[in-house]
Structure 1
Amino acid sequence: MTEPTTLSSLSSALSETIARTAPAIVSVHSHRLRASGFVWKPGLVITADEALADEGEIEIQLSDGSTKGAVIAGRDHTTDIALLRFDGDIAPAKLSATTPALGSLAVVVAADRGAPTARLGMVSLSGAPWRSLRGGDIDARIELDVRLRHSQQGGLALNTDGEAFGMAVLGPRRVLTIPTATIARVAAQLESRGRIARGYLGVGLQPIRLDDGIGAMVMNVDKGGPSAAAGIRQGDVIVAVDGEKLSGVRALSRSLGPQSVGTTVDVTVRRGGEPMQFKVTIGERPET
């Protein structure tokens, strides 16, 4: 009997890994969009938020070909995680807290109209935590050198031990992975609250250029918001927060993540050219 080669052993191991994961992978169909997802808990599916339509009915198709209606339990644009609720008892996918090594092989197990699909690639970047352009805190920067169709977004990325280390999504000119640590943190909040708390200053800001840097002019103030309570007024120009010069309105907005809610910051403004300081306790952004 011929001894198995290294490649045939790897091939068999990958096939077995995919077969174990496939029953927990689903197709997600929303208004004119198709994506993949995976069962996170019984009756709950996680998918890529960006691949989910903003309105219309949602249907998931299971690996056995059956279809079920689903509703949005919560979604977070900043981390690209959406949680769907459906009536079913499919065994959840097993997620691992492992972070893959640079250069290691990775398999993305997804679905197309319910049928399991797989893509093999390499971890092209495995780095530190980062913040998305929309202000979401991602626990690790993991990029994959793999081709991914739109319908495969939301699939699970596995290492060669069969451990699911994240959800594969399409980023700008690259395939990114939302790590399992981020999924666990965000999905738990979506399950319990339906949303992720975001920091709120209660002001509308307009960037302006100053002689010594960048400022943010307060264009309007929510009368019931944190800034109004601290004494900040329309026309004030914010120049620093906690002693650090402002680098831009967008950077200030991104800093108001979930961890900022309830914290107090020192806000330096210029009013009529004179510097003034206010202590602002960051609130939670209203749903509207």
Structure 2
Amino acid sequence: MRRLLLPAALVAASFFAGMVVTGRLGPGEQATAQSGVPAPATPAPTRPALPSGPLPELADVAERAMPSVVNISAVGSRQVQLPFGYFDEPTQSAGSGVIIKRTGDTGYVLTNAHVIGDATEMTVVLFNRRERPAELVGIDPYADLALLRVKDPTLQPITWGDSSRLRVAEWVMAIGNPYQLGETVTLGIVSALGRTNPQISVVADYIQTDAAINPGNSGGALVNRRGELVGINTWIYSQSGGYQGIGFAVPSNLARDVATQLERFGKVRRGTIAGILRIAPLNTALAADLGVRSTEGVVIYRMRRGQGDAWAAGIRAGDVIVGFNGTPITDTEGFERAMLTAPVGSVATLRVRRGREEFDIKVPITDAPVRNQ
């Protein structure tokens, strides 16, 4: 399980987001106090209806989802340089995975790319304790997801859930293999939605949960009250290396799209603009040097002069990109995400500022280079 020290602002933001200003007269109360005439009644804001009926039995949800979660062991090697030469150092990792599909005796297991790493041999342990060799179908390092192929007639695929329908404070269950204990279930809620972390992925908006997630839970299932898969547990915020109540999962809608492409093509086609080598955030000093009025957007800091689609389309170093296919661009992560998620073979419309001018440039989207994990 990856461990990252997030900025203190992430924690502080959660407190400020919950603050409510009270103790002031509302508009209707002010009108009554000033004129003595009752103000028109203000309709109460509508709230989503609460689910009817009792909460589901947790044991029933766990029994439905647990057979779809497997333990993964990955063994490989990496080349290490020493003063007298190179040698291959054995590597081993363990994590979790989720059975998402079965056709006949062949099934597919979705997990994190960092669980697989550079492994050449992978084994999964099923819920019924059967051990089966696994074959790597493909990896998408941009989303930190990998797909394995396993043969066994007893594989039980999980039911996909719709992560776009998740709500903050909805309860969820995490199932995985923390510290190689196997088949461990923890319970929590959705703490937040739409969390980002460019150090891991610029294409994922993570689900934050306080369900206990520890090393070894990577690749495991985050399920809702119906036992449906709504996320793939991926990383934790921790100062100790263990559970601190802040875990993150790749939303199921993104995971499902990635898994479909990996099964079909063996990879996920990610987009880029050929010829752009480096982009940078725009600050006040840089904006002044470039003669632009605003610090919105990102600047093309370096590119291939006379080469590539960007140059041919008319983009030049120093141009500021403020829009991508009609979507405002405010930071480098937003621009990278827009490129990576644009359909390969399409033509993107970039909104460009150059000095006091602003105009559109159309440029083709091509395959992004393979990214190492």
Q: Whole-Å Cα distance in 1 between the matches of residues 161 and 337 of structure 2? A: 28
Residue of structure 2 equivalent to 1:121: 188
Residue of structure 1 equivalent to 2:319: 238
Q: Over residues 81-114 of structure 1, what are the superposed CA-to-partner deviations in whole Å (9 max), with x where a residue is unaligned?
A: 2111122231211122263433233221223658
Q: Over residues 113-158 of structure 1, what are the superposed CA-to-partner deviations in whole Å (9 max), with x where a residue is unaligned?
A: 5842111222222x4x5665222144xx532112211112222122
Shift of 1:26: 0.5
Q: Over residues 33-76 of structure 1, what are the superposed CA-to-partner deviations in whole Å (9 max), with x where a residue is unaligned?
A: 11111111122100122333233322211122222222221222
- Asked if structure 1 preserves the Cα contact closer than 8 Å seen for 2:306 and 2:312, the reply is no
Instruction: Give the TM-score of the pair, scaled to structure 1.
Output: 0.78
User: Residue type of the partner of 1:93?
Assistant: I
- Of stretches 87-96 and 203-212 in structure 1, the one that deviates more from structure 2 is 203-212
Aligned residues: 271
Shift of 1:274: 9.6
Q: Whole-Å Cα distance in 2 between the matches of residues 29 and 200 of structure 1? A: 34
User: Residue type of the partner of 2:299?
Assistant: G
Q: Over residues 147-170 of structure 1, what are the superposed CA-to-partner deviations in whole Å (9 max), with x where a residue is unaligned?
A: 211112222122333333222222
Residue of structure 1 equivalent to 2:267: 195
Confirm whether residue 179 of structure 1 aligns to residue 274 of structure 2. no
Shift of 1:228: 3.7
Change (3 A) 1:34 1:222: farther
Shift of 1:171: 3.8
Name whichever structure is richer in strand by fraction.
1
Residue of structure 1 equivalent to 2:363: 280
Residue of structure 2 equivalent to 1:108: 174
- Asked if structure 1 preserves the Cα contact closer than 8 Å seen for 2:174 and 2:212, the reply is no
| SS of residue paired to 2:57 | helix
Q: Whole-Å Cα distance in 2 between the matches of residues 74 and 221 of structure 1? A: 34
Q: Which runs of 5+ in 2 are unaligned?
A: 1-53, 76-91, 239-245
Residue of structure 2 equivalent to 1:160: 225
User: Residue type of the partner of 1:285?
Assistant: A
Residue of structure 2 equivalent to 1:205: 278
Change (3 A) 1:218 1:23: same
Change (3 A) 1:87 1:163: closer
Confirm whether residue 14 of structure 1 aligns to residue 58 of structure 2. yes
Q: Whole-Å Cα distance in 1 between the matches of residues 306 and 217 of structure 2? A: 42
Change (3 A) 1:275 1:175: closer
Shift of 1:201: 1.2
User: Residue type of the partner of 1:19?
Assistant: E
| SS of residue paired to 1:183 | helix
Q: Whole-Å Cα distance in 1 between the matches of residues 67 and 97 of structure 2? A: 11
Q: Whole-Å Cα distance in 2 between the matches of residues 55 and 252 of structure 1? A: 32
| SS of residue paired to 1:57 | strand
Q: Whole-Å Cα distance in 2 between the matches of residues 246 and 22 of structure 1? A: 42
Change (3 A) 1:181 1:274: closer
- Asked if structure 1 preserves the Cα contact closer than 8 Å seen for 2:65 and 2:228, the reply is no
User: Residue type of the partner of 1:199?
Assistant: G
| SS of residue paired to 2:260 | helix
Shift of 1:184: 1.6
Q: Whole-Å Cα distance in 2 between the matches of residues 265 and 157 of structure 1? A: 37
- Asked if structure 1 preserves the Cα contact closer than 8 Å seen for 2:299 and 2:319, the reply is yes
Rg larger in structure: 2
| SS of residue paired to 1:182 | helix
Q: Which runs of 5+ in 1 are unaligned?
A: 1-8
Confirm whether residue 220 of structure 1 aligns to residue 284 of structure 2. no
Instruction: Give the TM-score of the pair, scaled to structure 2.
Output: 0.62
Shift of 1:232: 4.4
User: Residue type of the partner of 1:190?
Assistant: L
| SS of residue paired to 2:159 | coil
Change (3 A) 1:68 1:131: same
Confirm whether residue 65 of structure 1 aligns to residue 129 of structure 2. yes
| SS of residue paired to 1:257 | helix
- Asked if structure 1 preserves the Cα contact closer than 8 Å seen for 2:235 and 2:248, the reply is yes
Q: Whole-Å Cα distance in 1 between the matches of residues 98 and 357 of structure 2? A: 55
- Asked if structure 1 preserves the Cα contact closer than 8 Å seen for 2:321 and 2:353, the reply is yes
Matches within 5 A, 1:142-161: 142-161=207-226
Residue of structure 2 equivalent to 1:6: none
| SS of residue paired to 1:17 | helix
Residue of structure 2 equivalent to 1:30: 74
Residue of structure 2 equivalent to 1:97: 162
| SS of residue paired to 2:183 | strand
Q: Over residues 214-263 of structure 1, what are the superposed CA-to-partner deviations in whole Å (9 max), with x where a residue is unaligned?
A: 6322343584x321432446xx3222254999755444323212235313
